[in-house]
């Protein structure tokens, strides 16, 4: 349908670009991350060490790996049930990438931590906690608010399983960041869960 120029918001032209808009996701994420990193580095009230905090990383990693070991079994079971006992996922979706496209699975394992998981932790954890802590002074209030915001960012996938997965992940990653003060550790945790979700077949939803 025809639209007048006044009906478009100032970035409405993006909706009319004749390209696959999924190709814009990572460039926009990385550009946003770079902008936020510059902002945080020049903000004297931000403790720059939080962007890595190797000490917090090494102390918190055993706990992260321990929880992940249990979660691996639970997520694998969820993927199996959804593919074999429901119509939510096709049966061939279970372990689809490692069995049918191992090259893509390997590429995800290599590039997802660097180009998706850690940048998201910079934007959704380090920046969010620093910028909005004043509105959520309680520890768990902040963690829950952050997890809900993280979940809502995935509403574009338009399915309740994606929202459930990202809410649970958001709670874990926010707790890890709040406890360790390490964006790097939260990024590692995010990467572990993200890679495993794609491995099991649940990546279909996200």
pLDDT tens digits, 108-142: 999 999 999 999 999 999 999 999 999 998 999 99
201: alpha, beta or left? (left if phi > 0; alpha if psi -120 to 50): left
95: alpha, beta or left? (left if phi > 0; alpha if psi -120 to 50): left
> Of 198, 116, 206, which is closest to residue 160 (Cα–Cα)?
206
**pLDDT over 70 at 40, yes or no:** yes
Mean pLDDT value of segment 26-52: 94
Q: Return all residues near 176 (Cβ < 8 A) that are at least 6 apart.
A: 60, 64, 182, 185, 186, 189
pLDDT of residue 206: 82
pLDDT digits (tens, 9 = 90+) for 44-88: 999 999 999 999 999 999 999 999 999 999 999 999 999 999 998
Element (H, E) at 67: helix 54-84
**pLDDT over 60 at 3, yes or no:** no
Written as six digits, the tokens of 175 are 């707790």
**What is the Cα 27 distance to its own chain's centre?**
16
pLDDT category of residue 5 using cuts at 50, 70 and 90: very low
pLDDT of residue 22: 61
CA distances from 128 to 2, 89, 97, 120, 182 (A): 39, 34, 33, 11, 14
């Amino acid at each position: 349908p025809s639209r007048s120029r006044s009906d478009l918001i100032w970035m409405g032209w993006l909706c009319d670009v004749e390209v696959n808009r999924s190709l814009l996701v990572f460039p926009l994420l990385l550009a946003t991350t770079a902008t936020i990193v510059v902002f945080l580095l020049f903000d004297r009230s931000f403790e720059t060490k939080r962007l890595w905090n190797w000490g917090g990383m090494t102390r918190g990693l055993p706990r992260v790996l321990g929880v992940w070991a249990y979660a691996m079994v639970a997520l694998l079971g969820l993927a199996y049930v959804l593919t074999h006992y429901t119509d939510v996922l096709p049966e061939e979706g279970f372990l689809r990438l490692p069995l049918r496209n191992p090259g893509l699975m390997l590429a995800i394992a290599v590039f997802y931590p660097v180009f998706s998981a850690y940048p998201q932790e910079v934007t959704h954890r380090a920046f969010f906690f620093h910028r909005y802590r004043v509105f959520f002074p309680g520890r768990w209030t902040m963690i829950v608010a952050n997890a809900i915001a993280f979940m809502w960012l995935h509403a574009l996938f338009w399915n309740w399983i994606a929202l459930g997965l990202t809410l649970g992940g958001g709670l874990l990653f926010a707790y890890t960041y709040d406890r360790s003060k390490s964006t790097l550790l939260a990024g590692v945790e995010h990467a572990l869960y993200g890679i495993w979700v794609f491995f099991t077949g649940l990546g279909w939803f996200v």
